[in-house]
Structure 1
Amino acid sequence: MFKSKNILFMFILSAFILVLAACGEDDKSSTDTGTSNTDSGASTETAGTDYGVDFLSILTGGTQGTYYPLGGTFADLITSNTGVKATAEVSQASAANMTALDAGEGDVAFVQTDIAYYATNGTMMFDGKKIDSVSALGALYPETIQLVTLADSGIKSYADLKGKKVSVGAPGSGTFANAEQLLEIHGLSMDDIKAQNLDFGESTDGIQSGQIDAAFITAGYPTGAVEALNATNGVYIVPVEADKAEELIAKYPYYAVDNIPAGTYGLEADTPAVSVGAMLAVKKDLPEDLVYAMTKAIYDNTDKISHAKGAFIKAETGLDGIGIDVHPGAQKYFDEVK
């Protein structure tokens, strides 16, 4: 009898141990499944933000212009909102940027609207070198053509430039084209001046040292190089009178009437001027979802742009003045915010 009870006890104990072991396996299985689900969740999240691009190079301009500081802000916005690392690179600006994008030496670039038009149509400095690998991300702000000199230089009009040393930017640059066209409207040509091919910083240094008399600078005002010059020498911006602005726009419709307000660079009065547009261009082969995210990152966060030109950057004007194809990703964003 005792022996039978002992056998029954051992049987029950064995069964109990087997149940515990089974529960342990279930727990382990449950834990493994939980880990697997967590890994799957991380993988799904990564897939959701994986645009197939790890790095974006934003081509700007010289450090003394407007493109470079804005490019740094845009790089931060894109990086923080897309997870793709973006950096602003110093470059030779508009025309060189279009060529660099075409050559795969950058992904995003600041460019004047007129230069983008020339490049994609194979005209002006792009004659015979048409670029069809670049599209628009969006319009930014007016780029004012500023003819800068010193207040005591004696240069008060375009006619006064004759025979003077004038910086006109690098050959093939946007500034060079603007200088050439404005000289033309005022009855002058490059042969009437002693043209110097300097960047913005070199131009203002040259004016300060007396090596040159004036400089064409196409950039959003206030431009760093001009502000630095005005800090040591009073500057004067040669005006473009209304009749000449109208004549220029009639021949080259991508220009617009502009005005540099009193107080800028210490100017005592408003200065009539003309401008082209600044825009962002991108490689056409960038993924649509990435360009959409980049466009949204910039235009949804314009309140985070500290530069004075940030006030002009708006989603509702993001396609104004664009004369080239818009990237589908950017177009999707602007269609949504209409």
Structure 2
Amino acid sequence: MKNKSLLLSAVLMLVLSIVLAACGGDKKAGDSGNKNDKNGSDYGIKFLSIATGGTGGTYYPLGGNFANMIKDATGVEANATTSGASAENMTLIQKGEAEVAFTQTDIATYANEGTMMFNGKKVDNINGLGTLYPETIQIVTTAKSGIKSVADLKGKTVSVGEAGSGTLANAEQILEMYDLTVDDLKARNLSFDDSTTGIQDGTIHAAFITAGTPTGAVEGLAATEDVVIVPLESDKIDALIEKYPYYAKETIPSGTYGADADLETVAVQAMLVVSSELTDDLVYEMTKAIFENTDKIGHAKGKLIKAENALDGMAIELHPGAKKYFDEKGISAE
């Protein structure tokens, strides 16, 4: 009888231990879901989606670098996803389908104001994290096309960027300086990769590509074709900047895509925007991770990404977390 009593006590103690362990385990799992694995900070989010662009552009490889930096600094899982780039990315944040996004400064302005392609569809939940580098407007063709100026694009089959993209807006504004519209072209709405493939196989004559140089898709084309970047005349550049002041003069240096001379064109700034719903602490750590680890960016544009330039062209409200970082560094908008 005594042995049975001892056995029953042992069984009860074991059951009680299992129950207590289970309760403790549940609590720990719950804490792990809310708190960051790296330093215990509560960022209120476990996963970040970074909207980039097509695989042939500059946003996508940079997005992969930034995702790794953010994860290393915060412990929050981050992933770079492909998209239709600038304009689509603003909509993705508006819908809550992305928390971080690459875009152009002009597109962020349109989204914030509810103008241009965002007419009546203002995006009111975006904040700036920082500007990155010039986004060069490149009108890409080949020597065999015979296209030497923007005027020569009339009647030609030309990719003007994906529908609703920043590239399309740039194409429309540049064509305007030459008294042309997309209706004067046989316009196609293609991604960067599809644009360069189309030039290579002869289905299109030229393509507008707005991206940091060198652009992967164009480098790929230059490996098999004699690539030509169509220049913009000085007076057209001046007129464009006067009407649309978010543009700036930009030089594509000789050697890019095999060119033997510098080429004058225009650029807007690439930037990162974030959802205004992200916590200040998280955005502070994200901003710090990116701008203090630029030497780890495995892309040529990494050399241009600097904290001291990160507020250049910032035309929308800065996220408080990013502002805290730049204030600590003594960096302010001009």
The reply to whether TM is greater than 0.5 is yes
Map residues 12-31 of structure 1 onto 2, 5 A cutoff. Answer: none
Map residues 262-273 of structure 1 onto 2, 5 A cutoff. Answer: 262-273=254-265
Note closer, same or farther for the CA distance 1:171–1:45 as it changes in structure 2 (3 Å cut). Answer: closer
Map residues 132-281 of structure 1 onto 2, 5 A cutoff. Answer: 132-281=124-273
Unaligned runs of 5+ in 2: 1-27
2:83 to 86, 91, 110: 91
Match of 2:113 in 1: 121
Q: Secondary structure at the match of 2:55?
A: coil
| Counterpart-to-counterpart distance in 2, 1:86 and 1:48 | 17
| Counterpart-to-counterpart distance in 2, 1:122 and 1:277 | 19
CA contact (8 A) 1:55 1:84 kept: yes
> 1:187-215 CA distances to partner (integer Å, 9 max, x unpaired)?
21112111001000000000001000000
Note closer, same or farther for the CA distance 1:45–1:92 as it changes in structure 2 (3 Å cut). Answer: closer
> 1:251-275 CA distances to partner (integer Å, 9 max, x unpaired)?
0000000010000000111110100
Partner AA of 1:272 in structure 2: E
Partner AA of 1:115 in structure 2: I
| Counterpart-to-counterpart distance in 1, 2:317 and 2:184 | 38
| Counterpart-to-counterpart distance in 1, 2:162 and 2:199 | 17
**TM-score computed with the length of structure 2 as normaliser:** 0.87
Deviation at 1:45, TM superposition (A): 8.9
**TM-score computed with the length of structure 1 as normaliser:** 0.86
> 1:255-302 CA distances to partner (integer Å, 9 max, x unpaired)?
000010000000111110100010000000100000000000000101
| Counterpart-to-counterpart distance in 1, 2:178 and 2:251 | 18
Q: Secondary structure at the match of 2:145?
A: coil
| Counterpart-to-counterpart distance in 2, 1:107 and 1:299 | 18
CA contact (8 A) 2:36 2:74 kept: no
| Counterpart-to-counterpart distance in 2, 1:70 and 1:242 | 31
Determine what percentage of the aligned residue pairs are the same residue: 64
Note closer, same or farther for the CA distance 1:209–1:334 as it changes in structure 2 (3 Å cut). Answer: same
| Counterpart-to-counterpart distance in 1, 2:85 and 2:119 | 19
Partner AA of 1:251 in structure 2: K
Match of 2:103 in 1: 111
Match of 1:77 in 2: 69
Q: Please identify runs of 4+ aligned residues in structure 1 that moved more than 2 A.
A: 42-50
Unaligned runs of 5+ in 1: 1-38
> 1:87-118 CA distances to partner (integer Å, 9 max, x unpaired)?
10111100000000000000100000000000
